[in-house]
Amino acid sequence: MESILYQLSKEFLSAVNGTCTRRGFILPMLYDLVNLETHLQHLTEIAYEWCSVICENNKSLEDWESHLLVCLEIGFRHLDFQHHFIEATITHTKYHRGLVDVVFESQESEVIADLLHAWTTSSRSSDRTALLSLCAGHLIGLHNLVPFSPRLRWLVIRSVELIGYKGFEEVGVEMFAGLLNHLHVTAEDIDSSFHWASLLLGTIQSSGGTKHLSHWYWEFLVELTALGLW
């Protein structure tokens, strides 16, 4: 199966980089892969590589945005979003930056979760925070645009933790506090109590920070203190 996937990837890359006459099979093939009953780790790394190539060729590839969203679904929808490591070789390129606007403008909660999963999870070859800071401005107000599934909520919490308070300073404390209030984080949701303590202290020390945080914040601090997590 692995050799078949790599041969398929070779044909895919050739089509995307080649002439338009060879591109008609791409979307049907992608949808066939979405419906696979068994997903191999190689499919995750291959699909993520395809995202880079599609972004690189976006000016010549018709409906390239749809191609991207399907590739993300193929690569990440089937994974356990609570795991922090992917048994695959995920390589981030400069072209992956093109995913941000397309994904968030789709306003599809599970597609956004796919991207956050790709960018908050470590793999055998990548720094999981390499591109994540690009999402900071898009996460603000996101809860007003799309419904938060448990998967999206958990991945947004992990994204906020990894980005940190400094990464959200430009958006303003009021809007950032609005996101935190919506997430209603608990000790069970977090990976690092130190990072969250630092994030919350940064928020309350900013101008008007305490005023904008709702009661969940105090509950969260009491919970962390009771558990001895900070």
Q: What is the pTM of this model?
A: 0.88
- The answer, yes or no, to whether residue 37 has pLDDT greater than 80, is no
Q: What is the predicted pLDDT for the residue at 72?
A: 96
List the single range of 68-72, 76-80, 158-162, 194-198 with lowest mean pLDDT. 194-198
Helix-helix angle 64-76:26-34, to 10 degrees: 20
Helix-helix angle 109-120:99-106, to 10 degrees: 150
Report the percentage of the chain scoring pLDDT > 70.
Answer: 90
Average of per-residue pLDDT across 54-75: 92
HEC string for 169-208: HHHCHHHHHHHHHHHCCCHHHCCCHHHHHHHHHHHHHCCC
Average of per-residue pLDDT across 207-216: 74
Q: What is the predicted pLDDT for the residue at 95?
A: 95
Average pLDDT, the chain: 86
pLDDT band at 47 (very low <50, low <70, confident <90, very high): very high
How far apart, in whole angstroms, are the C-alpha atoms of residue 8 and residue 19?
A: 17
- The answer, yes or no, to whether residue 98 has pLDDT greater than 90, is yes
pLDDT digits (tens, 9 = 90+) for 3-36: 777 787 888 888 887 765 566 777 788 888 888 7
Question: CA distances (Å), 211 to each of 98, 177, 215, in order?
Answer: 36, 9, 10
How far apart, in whole angstroms, are the C-alpha atoms of residue 142 and residue 148?
A: 9
Average of per-residue pLDDT across 73-100: 90
pLDDT digits (tens, 9 = 90+) for 119-175: 998 876 656 666 899 999 999 989 999 999 999 999 999 999 999 988 998 888 888
